Amino acid sequence: MTNYCLRKTVDLSYEEAVSRIKEELKKEGFGVLTEIDVKMTLKKKINKDFNKYIILGACNPEFAYQSLKLEEELGLLLPCNVIIYEKDSGEVNVAAIDPREALTISGNKNLEEVAKQVGSHLERVVNNI
């Protein structure tokens, strides 16, 4: 188990989970800037089959602004990735990056408060689905 993500198995179909996670992100002030359909991309690029898997690049503009003002290179770690994937068994999982852990890579102690706030929002997103 990783310590850099907030993860949950959900009793929803993959499609329902994608829809619900987008709704929960919106409730917490996040927009989805990017969507990467991993299954489709791998099939198209290397002709390999993969389970349903999507990466959503989520961003809360206010938190992004605060973070970038504290450290301009932080853009390398933005947006916050949220994933939804289906396992071979049909089990559907949702996960989000935990910025409280991920942002420690920067070594910038000034980012801790923003990371805590963003982490709390993303934790609610995952828990509420």
pLDDT at 2: 67
- Per-domain residue ranges of the chain: 5-128
CA separation for the pair 33, 79 (Å, rounded): 8
pLDDT at 73: 93
- The answer, as to whether pTM is greater than 0.85, is yes
pLDDT tens string 77-108: 999 999 999 999 999 999 999 999 988 888 89
Tell which CATH classification among 3.40.109.10, 3.30.310.70, 3.20.20.70, 3.30.420.10 matches the domain 5-128: 3.30.310.70
Proportion of the chain above pLDDT 70, given as a percent: 98
DSSP states of 57-109 as a string?
Answer: EEE-HHHHHHHHHH-GGGGGG-SEEEEEEE-TTS-EEEEEE-HHHHGGGG--G
Residue 121's pLDDT band (cuts 50, 70, 90): very high
Q: Within a 10 A sphere around the Cβ of 114, how many other Cβ atoms?
A: 22
Helices vs. strands in the chain: H and E counts, helices first = 5, 5
pLDDT tens string 107-119: 899 999 999 999 9
pLDDT at 70: 94
Q: Which two tokens stand for residue 21?
A: 């996670």
